[in-house]
Chains A and B, each alone.
Chain A
Amino acid sequence: MDIHALQQIVHQTRDARRKQTIAKFSPADRDQLIHKYHPDWRASAYRPIRFGPNEGDKTVVELATLLEGDSSLDGSADLTPHHTTDVLVIGGGGAGCAAALHAHGAGAKVILATKLRLGDSNSVMAQGGMQISVAPEDSPVTHFIDTLKGGHMQNDHDLLKVMVEEGPSIAKWLIELGVLFDRQADGNLHVKKGGGSSKPRLLTCSDYTGLEIMRVLKDEVINQKIQLLEFCAAVELLSDNDGRCTGAILKDLDNQQHVVVAAKSVILATGGIGRLHIQGFPTSNHYGATGDGLCLSYRMGAKLDHIDTFQYHPSGAVYPEQLIGALVTEGIRSEGGQLVNAKGERFVNELDTRDVVSSSIIRECEEGRGIRTMSGRVGVWLDTPLLDAEHGPGTVEKHFPAMMLQFERFGIDISKDPVLIYPTLHYQNGGVKIDTNSETNVKNLFVAGEASGGLHGRNRLMGNSLLDLMVFGKRSGLTAASRTGSVTQGKLTLKHLERFRTEAKKHGNVSGVISPMILPAYTRKVG
Chain B
Amino acid sequence: MAQESNENVIDQPEVLKPRMVTIDIAGKKYEVPEGITVIKAMWYAGQEVVRGVGCLGGFCGACATYYRTKDDPKVRTCLACQTAVQDGMSFTMMPPFPARKALYDIQKLQDPKQDLFNLYPEAPLCRNCNACTEACPQKIDVREGVWKAVFGDFQSVSEMFMDCVMCGMCTPVCIADIAPNLVALYVSRAQGAHFTEKPAGLDQRIKEITDGRFNDEWKKILAMNEKELADHCATVK
A residues lining the B interface (CB < 8 Å): 1-3, 6, 27, 116-117, 119-122, 124-125, 133-136, 139-142, 144-146, 148-149, 153, 157, 161, 165, 168-169, 171-172, 175-180, 183, 187-189, 198, 205-206, 208, 210-212, 215-216, 218-220, 222-223, 225, 231, 253-254, 284, 286-287, 319-322, 326-327, 342, 366-368, 370-375, 378, 401-402, 405-406, 409-410, 420, 519, 522-527
Contacts and interface: CB of A to CB of B under 8 A. Distances in A.
Interface string B9-39: 1111011100000000000000000011100
A319 B83 CA distance: 14
Interface stretch (B121-129, B143-151, B172-180, B187-195): B187-195
Contact of A374 (B9, B43, B193, B234): B9
Nearest to A527: B46
Contacts, number: 245
Contact of B236 (A122, A142, A322, A327): A142
Q: Which 6 A-B pairs have the closest CB atoms?
A: A178-B189, A526-B46, A178-B192, A187-B197, A120-B54, A374-B15
A392 to B, nearest CB: 20
B229 interface: yes
Contact of B199 (A175, A212, A373): A175
Given A1-B7, A178-B189, A180-B188, A222 B83 contact: no
B202 A189 contact: yes
B193 A367 contact: no
B221 A144 contact: yes
A189 B197 CA distance: 10
A119 B10 contact: no
A157 B58 contact: no
A140 B217 CA distance: 10
Interface in B182-225: 185-186, 188-193, 196-206, 209, 214, 217-218, 221-222
B51 interface: yes
Contacts of A322: 35-37, 82, 84
10 contacts: A140-B214, A145-B233, A146-B236, A172-B203, A187-B198, A286-B56, A287-B53, A326-B58, A366-B1, A406-B82
B83 A409 contact: yes
A149 B10 contact: no
Interface stretch (B67-75, B86-94, B99-107): B99-107
Contacts of B50: 116, 231, 253-254, 519
B71 to A, nearest CB: 21
B58 A402 contact: yes
A527 B195 CA distance: 59
Contacts of B110: none
A268 to B, nearest CB: 20
A205 B217 contact: no
B162 A206 contact: yes
B138 interface: yes
A135 B57 contact: no
A225 B40 CA distance: 35
A493 to B, nearest CB: 30
Given A183-B197, A524-B46, A157 B104 contact: no
Given A125-B59, A223-B106, A286-B56, A139 B162 contact: no
Contacts of B188: 178, 180, 215
B131 interface: no
A189 B205 CA distance: 12
B62 to A, nearest CB: 6
B115 interface: no
Contacts of B10: 1-3, 6, 319, 371-374, 420
A182 to B, nearest CB: 10
A153 B233 contact: yes
A525 B47 CA distance: 9
B221 to A, nearest CB: 6
Contacts of A286: 54-57, 60
A188 B200 contact: yes
Nearest to A212: B162
A527 B139 CA distance: 40
A208 B162 contact: yes
A320 B43 CA distance: 19
A133 B11 contact: no
Given A121-B60, A149-B236, A218-B166, 19 more contacts: A2-B11, A3-B10, A134-B199, A153-B226, A153-B229, A172-B206, A175-B192, A178-B189, A180-B158, A180-B191, A187-B197, A215-B166, A215-B188, A223-B104, A223-B106, A374-B9, A401-B162, A522-B40, A523-B46
Contact of B201 (A134, A206, A406): A134
Interface in B127-171: 138-139, 158, 162-166
Nearest to B220: A141
A157 B226 CA distance: 12
Nearest to A135: B201
A119 B16 CA distance: 38
A371 B49 CA distance: 34
B171 to A, nearest CB: 15
A215 B164 contact: yes
B198 A124 contact: no
A526 B56 CA distance: 23
Nearest to B85: A322
B199 A1 contact: no
A253 B49 CA distance: 11
A464 B149 CA distance: 34
B145 to A, nearest CB: 15
Nearest to A222: B101
A3 B8 CA distance: 9
Nearest to A174: B192
Contacts of A165: 209
Contacts of A117: 54, 60, 62
B16 to A, nearest CB: 5
Contacts of B83: 409
B200 to A, nearest CB: 7
B111 interface: no
B118 to A, nearest CB: 15
Nearest to B83: A409
B185 A188 contact: no
Contact of A225 (B103, B138, B192, B209): B103
B8 A409 contact: no
B202 A405 contact: no
Given A2-B11, A188-B199, A368 B46 contact: no
B8 A370 contact: yes
Most buried by B among A27, A145, A168, A172: A168
